[in-house]
Structure 1
Amino acid sequence: MKPALFQQYQATFNAHLRDPAQQPKPRGTDARRIAIYREIVFNNFLASISACFPVLLSILGKRRFKQLARQCFHDHKFSSPLFADIPKALVDYLQTLDLTTHNLPPYTLQLAHYEWVELYLAKLPDAAPASPVTPVRQASDLAAAVLQLPAAHMLLSYDYAVQRLSKKHAQLPAAPTYLLVYRKTDFSIAFIELNAISYQLLQRIQSQAANVSHHLQQLAQERLPHLSIQSVSEFGLQLLHSLYQQQAIVQK
């Protein structure tokens, strides 16, 4: 088969796989065989996203979730040939949808993103070994330390408490939600719920290399002027020490 004809055959074949109701199969292709192949390809796609989004699946139900998967499979322009990137395609597709028009819960995109983050962090390459540092034994030891978040982490801000959603609790009202998701040294993924102030503190640590005392003084002056710098520093050191013990922050 000439290259141009083969490319045309591929395009027709792919279009039929994604939308068999509107796109005819290539001429000369056995109908029964291509029907089997269609189901295999879609079922593999469905299995991949079902495994990544168990909470969303439980809330929508199997039939509704499969319908959403079918829409994504049909409409989305996939940018990666890697099987591991399929779940991200659903997140990207949801960003293009009017959730109300499609009769989806208003938190659908944020819940899907939250569930995808675990997969994303799990497959990030390991960081280079860190230089040895003196272990922190008490909160006050952190005052002069320069901290950073783990190499594999994401600071997340949502409009819904996605970590509390489930089949039994699928009607939560909107509420500002802040989360830190990170990979520990044993490669397990951990989730920590934050308040607005601790989220902003970690944002500062993430974006600016400075010691903890500097970050806490700036936070007190800019965000908590009604409190003394000493009280903010004491609270901040205790918070950061707790996060340090959970491997949620590390020393540079």
Structure 2
Amino acid sequence: MPERPSLSQADAQSNVQAAPGFMQIQQAFTAHLRDPQQQPPPAGIEDRRLQIYRELIFNNVASLLEQGFPVLYQCLGRERWRALIRGFLIAHRATTPLFPELGQELLAYLSTAGALRPEDPPFVLELAHYEWVETALIFSEAEAGPALADSNGDLLDGVPVVSPLAWNLSYRFAVHRISADFQPHAPDPEPTHLVVYRTRQERIEFLKINAVTQRLLVLLREQSHRSGRDLLNSIALELQHPRPSQLIEAGRSLLEDLRERQILLGTRRQ
């Protein structure tokens, strides 16, 4: 005679059998919270109670993202911001449960077709990326301590080390200038190059740089075995500079300035 299931076994079997129905209720509930206008709620739930959840979910997400993207919020205004958040809740499926990474999820959503409307400013995606970088650097676990480089090394004859907490960025719009009072309608003729970085004092700073400095920082990362002098010589050749020695001397001052700002940590230890 087969053994009679214990109470716990019977409960487990009951839960398995009931799971599909329960999951359907959950899915209907969350679909309704994301899109109350198009998705009906599960039957039998008082609308007053549903309203509490609808407002809680929407307002929490909107408030958290507003803190991470304050300039974007100011540029869009309350109504367009709320429309953006509603679209985000409806269409996007986050891959992380961590609140500090919610901004990255919004950025991913803004990169998809249909996220932005024709009347939205053309700089929205770039401005969002620029504002997200600040949060990403604040929470970055990358190390930029003295073990990575000799802070007093010769930046011309040694191999300069770029801080992992310094991000070299290029934008079509001057995102560092955008505000509620300055909203360009078209990209600038030339790209805007910025370095956004975190200092040892845990401050987030930015530096606007020219195309030559941007190229130098690219080479410092891509060819991290070469000395500062070698890289500056390469740039002089690329520019067909008539007096490479002048460019190298100017480059010495530039490298020192980047070290002073903590964009460069020093030189690679032997």
TM-score, reference length from structure 2? 0.86
Q: CA, structure 1 residues 111+55, in 2 after alignment: closer, same or farther (shift >3 Å)?
A: same
Structure 1 residues 137-148: aligned runs within 5 Å: 141-148=154-161
* CA RMSD between the two structures: 1.8
Pick from 166, 185, 194 the counterpart of residue 179 of structure 2: 166
Pick from 162, 184, 200 the counterpart of residue 185 of structure 1: 200
**Conservation of the 8 A alpha-carbon contact between 2:122 and 2:186:** no
Other structure's SS at 2:146 match: coil
1:135 aligned residue: 152
- Looking at structure 2, the residues matched to 33 and 232 of structure 1 have their Cα atoms a distance apart, in angstroms, of 69
CA displacement, residues 141-162 of structure 1 (integer Å, 9 cap, x when unaligned): 4211211221223211110100
1:198 aligned residue: 213
- Farther-moved stretch of structure 1 (238-247 vs 25-34): 25-34
1:237 aligned residue: 252
Q: CA deviation at 1:89?
A: 1.6
Other structure's SS at 2:231 match: helix
Q: CA deviation at 1:99?
A: 7.5
Percent identity over the alignment? 36
2:169 aligned residue: 156
**Conservation of the 8 A alpha-carbon contact between 2:155 and 2:228:** yes
Aligned residues: 247
Other structure's SS at 2:194 match: strand
- Farther-moved stretch of structure 1 (76-85 vs 16-25): 76-85
For 2:100, the aligned partner's letter is: A
**Conservation of the 8 A alpha-carbon contact between 1:99 and 1:105:** no
Other structure's SS at 1:96 match: coil
Q: CA deviation at 1:101?
A: 4.1
Rg: which structure is higher? 2
Q: CA, structure 1 residues 28+99, in 2 after alignment: closer, same or farther (shift >3 Å)?
A: closer
1:17 aligned residue: 33
**Conservation of the 8 A alpha-carbon contact between 1:127 and 1:151:** yes
Q: CA, structure 1 residues 221+56, in 2 after alignment: closer, same or farther (shift >3 Å)?
A: same
Q: CA, structure 1 residues 189+128, in 2 after alignment: closer, same or farther (shift >3 Å)?
A: closer
TM-score, reference length from structure 1? 0.92
Other structure's SS at 2:176 match: helix
Q: CA deviation at 1:81?
A: 1.5
The answer to whether 1:105 aligns with 2:118 is: no
Q: CA deviation at 1:214?
A: 0.8
- Looking at structure 2, the residues matched to 237 and 69 of structure 1 have their Cα atoms a distance apart, in angstroms, of 47
Q: CA, structure 1 residues 74+92, in 2 after alignment: closer, same or farther (shift >3 Å)?
A: same
- Farther-moved stretch of structure 1 (22-31 vs 115-124): 22-31
- Looking at structure 2, the residues matched to 128 and 148 of structure 1 have their Cα atoms a distance apart, in angstroms, of 10
Q: 5+ unaligned residues in a row in structure 1: which ranges?
A: none
**Conservation of the 8 A alpha-carbon contact between 1:161 and 1:172:** no
Q: CA deviation at 1:24?
A: 1.0
- Looking at structure 2, the residues matched to 238 and 69 of structure 1 have their Cα atoms a distance apart, in angstroms, of 46
Q: CA deviation at 1:186?
A: 1.4
Q: CA deviation at 1:172?
A: 5.9
Q: CA deviation at 1:133?
A: 2.4
